[in-house]
Amino acid sequence: MNNYSIPKEHGAYVVLVAAWLLGIVYSHSPDVTGSALALILPLSIFFLQEPIRILVRRKKKEKIELHPFALLCIISTLVTGLILTLHSPRILYLTAPLFVIALLYFYFVRKRSAAIILSLVGFLGLALITPLTILASPSVMAPRDLAITWLFAALFFCGSLVCVNIRLSGGSGIWQAILYHILASAVILFFVYVHALPHSAIAVISVSFLRLLLIIPYRKQYSTLRIRYIGIQESVIAGLGVIISALPF
């Protein structure tokens, strides 16, 4: 851990901030202190992923030295987590799902699984920032509604992941992306139909689906597009999703 490096997954930073902003939108009456803590806590945990990877993959009897920045992130995680729990004890609702996702992530890291699987589990974890931000606000939301909100955020952000995978797989991931968007749209439409999600959710997933439809006829060109440009595109999509969610429908 002595050779610490800040995570370079730029897409994860976008999802982290977008999930936080989405939580602020859905909380309706955000609390400044709670919202700030709800951003600092996952950011501190996110910065710990590199030391955790080294720790999980290390060989037996291999000596590990803790980098000062990693130590700072550990302290920040513990202190921020404690303050946020005292500020809003309801965040303990997320203990179980966070524990399960963390176990899955550590398991796949240890097995050196494909990057798409690690990213998928990571995005599921990042989507928890949305209900975390809601719980950190004065707003009251039932556990069922929190779970549905998390699922909506996860489906939206993972849509970006499967589209980027088209580029990383050289175009071979197109059918997986199409199937994913069909299933994700069906799930979101169902929850809107039963009034568990606002109508803006349809517009949000429509933007994601439109992005895929624009990729399909140009998938050969897309599969050779520079990652930097794809990152900008996905950042815009994530931003549009947050803006649309904030609009009155």
Of 1-10, 44-53, 202-211, the range with the lowest mean pLDDT is: 1-10
Say if residues 128 and 150 touch (Cβ distance below 8 Å): yes
Whether the full predicted model's pTM is greater than 0.85, yes or no, is yes
Of 45-54, 77-86, 113-122, 218-227, the range with the lowest mean pLDDT is: 45-54
How far apart CA 177 and CA 193 sit, in angstroms, is 24
Task: Give residue-wise pLDDT tens across range 133-187.
Answer: 999 998 888 899 999 999 999 999 999 999 999 988 888 889 999 999 999 999 9
The whole-number pLDDT of residue 144 equals 93
- Across the chain, mean pLDDT equals 88
The whole-number pLDDT of residue 225 equals 87
The whole-number pLDDT of residue 245 equals 93
Say if residues 191 and 148 touch (Cβ distance below 8 Å): yes
The whole-number pLDDT of residue 128 equals 95
Task: Give residue-wise pLDDT tens across range 10-47.
Answer: 778 899 999 999 999 999 878 899 999 999 999 998 88
The whole-number pLDDT of residue 39 equals 94
Reported as half-sphere exposure (CB side, CA atoms, 13 A), residue 75 has a value of 7
How far apart CA 223 and CA 215 sit, in angstroms, is 9
**202 has a pLDDT exceeding 90:** yes
Task: Give residue-wise pLDDT tens across range 218-227.
Answer: 888 888 888 8
The token pair at 171 is 């175009």
Longest CA span, the chain:
59
